[in-house]
A and B are shown apart, each in its own frame.
Chain A
Amino acid sequence: MGLLSKKDSKLILDPLTDNNPVTIQVLGICSALAITAQLKASIVMAISVIAVLGVGNVVISLMRNIIPSKIRIIVQLVVVAALVIIVDQVLKAYSYELSKTLSVFVGLIITNCIIMGRFEAFALANGPWKSFLDGIGNAAGYGLILVIVGFFRELLGSGTLLGFKVLGDPIEKTGLYAIGYENNGFMLLSPMALIVLGIIIWIQRSRNKALIED
């Protein structure tokens, strides 16, 4: 890696796999349940969180020496809130339909535990470049899980991917539907997101035994 030192690339790659904020630290579950019924919504959510956490981590890191520690949570909240409002406005301006699907969940990025967690655990103690990498890495790790869950929920629940009817048309009875296949309505309900997430965690831990807690 020419661009990144070994330490820096670890900051980005670790949260994608062995230190994933969703599957290992089990943070940010609520939004993973709420918006993963469609792949598109999952992707937009992932990008939004990457933007908020990447920029937010840099801002907090730059201010880390001048924030009085007693009021640091409030300062962090102000930063996230400002960034989330920007993301929300951009979504409303350029993709109104999608922002309607995501509804309050864009606003609720503020409450995403991953963001406050990274501010507290990393940005307050590290320089801006490292914080940026850490922010991107953790948000991407979160986004990766969101996209995987969204992929399976949309494929099995609606038979589509990003809105394209990949399995055929359920009404015209083409493709798989011609031989009697039907969409699994359970996949569209939130409990199934939890179960899919559980299965991902199961697979990950059975492949890497070091991750299993007692």
Chain B
Amino acid sequence: MSLKSNLHNLKEKYKGTKMAPAFNALHTFLYTPNDTTHNGTHIKAADDLKRTMNTVIMAMLPCLIFGMFNAGYQHNLAVGDIQAVTSGFFSSEFWTLDNFMIGFWKIIPLVIVSYGVGLGVEFLFAIIKKHEVEEGYLVTGMLVPLIVPIDIPLWMLAIAVIFGVVIGKEVFGGTGMNILNPALTIRAFLFFAYPTWMSGDKVWVEGAVERTNQIAAGANLDAISGETILGSLAQGKEIAYSVSDMFLGFIPGSIGETSTLLIILGGLFLIFTKIGSWRIMLSSVLGAITMGLIFNQVVSAGIITESSKFYALMSTPFWHHLIIGGFAFGVVFMATDPVTASQTNIGKWYYGFFIGFISILIRVFNPAYPEGVMLAILLMNVFAPTIDHYVIQGNIKQRLKRLKVKTA
């Protein structure tokens, strides 16, 4: 018997019992069900929810693999075992098995915990609430490991995932009902609950925390540290990375967010497959550029001088903001979440624009929260229904006016 019929039999066996949703989920995750519906009108389309989710995961995979190489690269670079990359994206210093394995053994547990805990909660709720398991966690589970620092303890991640899935999603009614993006809820929880593990110069390079503890215990080692670019800018330090490093992603940061190049490729893939909204991506970039230009103008007009603590971040060329920090990743993979974003096309322009605009605003004015894009997206998630409401009302008004003109 094939796996498919095995699963089908299992499903039949547990039909009507408490555990049924769990088996149904396993079955439909891997195969199309044997039974079809017999009445009513049905739309036949290939892109169901699972297909949609899998497309997004495919778009993120390059970032994940790059993140594994980058984790090892940052570690080896900090330890002093290798030289910094010199020859562009395909530098031989970067794409080594050693780099990959360091990242692999560090990141795979994060992925496993994220999926294991998250899907566990989803299955549990499906069984309690007696509905089918929803696919909503597939993308979230892949996003979560990509947006956390490499050294985050697994138990913290597990608690955050439980919090994010239960409070961020299940209390609102599960997949499709949530107001906030669950992956960002998880990150925001970690950020506010365990700030020492989510910011600073110790968490972005693999092994830095451990090394610090060993030194404190008396080991004769060099300390390793790596500050994100936003972190060092917030402290008014010079950036030690070239623009090509920032764009290609050879910089410290959360696991999947560093390579703007690969994120753009993923974004193009999402636009091409019509999964992600190009309106949101484009308008977010426009919003960020607008805010960046305003700050640049303020600096060149001499209103903010070098003595100001905002000077370093404000004088950063506006287009640098697009390639440092998690801006690109957030805009491409999280602002476009179809559930929490605006639904109307006009609304998407406003929604995206404010995400970009507010991200840069938070980055510059609150150095304690260097990752403005997370908070900006969460904020606009909350406002998205309001934006939609006004867009729809405006549309209705316009049509009523047209109607009146005709009847008059």
Contacts and interface: CB of A to CB of B under 8 A. Distances in A.
A195 interface: yes
Contacts of A185: 192-195
B167 interface: yes
B171 interface: yes
B193 A184 contact: yes
Contact of A180 (B153, B171, B189): B153
Given A180-B153, A180-B155, A182-B156, A187 B171 contact: no
B304 to A, nearest CB: 31
A73 B171 CA distance: 39
- B contact patch SS: helix
A186 B197 CA distance: 13
A184 B158 CA distance: 13
A184 B190 CA distance: 9
Interface in A178-214: 180, 182, 184-187, 189, 195, 198, 202
A186 B192 contact: yes
Contact of B189 (A182, A186, A198, A202): A186
Interface string B137-175: 000000000000000010110010000000100010000
A71 to B, nearest CB: 42
Given A195-B167, A202-B171, A184 B155 contact: no
A195 B164 CA distance: 12
Nearest to B155: A180
A184 B194 contact: yes
Interface string B189-203: 100111111000000
B114 to A, nearest CB: 19
Contacts of A195: 167
Contacts of B153: 180
Interface residues of A, number: 10
Interface residues of B, number: 13
B378 to A, nearest CB: 12
13 contacts: A180-B153, A182-B194, A182-B196, A182-B197, A184-B193, A184-B194, A185-B193, A186-B189, A186-B192, A187-B193, A189-B192, A195-B167, A198-B171
Closest 9 CB pairs of A and B: A186-B193, A186-B192, A184-B193, A185-B193, A182-B194, A185-B195, A195-B167, A180-B153, A186-B189
A96 to B, nearest CB: 32
A187 B153 CA distance: 19
Interface string B351-375: 0000000000000000000000000
Contacts of B193: 184-187
B328 to A, nearest CB: 27
A180 B159 CA distance: 14
A184 B196 CA distance: 11
A182 B156 CA distance: 9
A187 B192 CA distance: 9
A208 to B, nearest CB: 17
Contacts of B159: 184
A198 B193 CA distance: 18
Contacts of A186: 189, 192-193
Interface of A: 180, 182, 184-187, 189, 195, 198, 202
Select the residue from A182, A187, A195 with max chain B CB neighbours within 10 A.
A182
Contacts of B171: 198, 202
A64 to B, nearest CB: 43
A194 B159 CA distance: 18
A186 to B, nearest CB: 4
Nearest to B153: A180
B211 to A, nearest CB: 16
Nearest to A179: B155
Nearest to B194: A182
A202 B125 CA distance: 14
Select the residue from A180, A184, A195 with max chain B CB neighbours within 10 A.
A184
A202 B193 CA distance: 23
A182 B193 CA distance: 9
A86 to B, nearest CB: 39
A195 B155 CA distance: 21
Contacts of B197: 182
A187 B167 CA distance: 14
A186 B171 CA distance: 19
B394 to A, nearest CB: 32
Contacts of A184: 159, 193-194
A189 B189 CA distance: 11
A214 to B, nearest CB: 15
Interface in B192-240: 192-197
Given A184-B193, A185-B194, A185-B195, 5 more contacts: A182-B156, A182-B197, A184-B159, A187-B193, A189-B192
B351 to A, nearest CB: 23
A186 B190 CA distance: 8
Contacts of A202: 171
Contacts of B192: 185-186, 189
A188 to B, nearest CB: 9
Select the residue from A185, A187, A198 with max chain B CB neighbours within 10 A.
A185
A202 B170 CA distance: 12
Contacts of A189: 192
Nearest to A202: B171
A211 to B, nearest CB: 16
B17 to A, nearest CB: 22
Interface string B87-104: 000000000000000000
A14 B195 CA distance: 42
Nearest to B188: A186
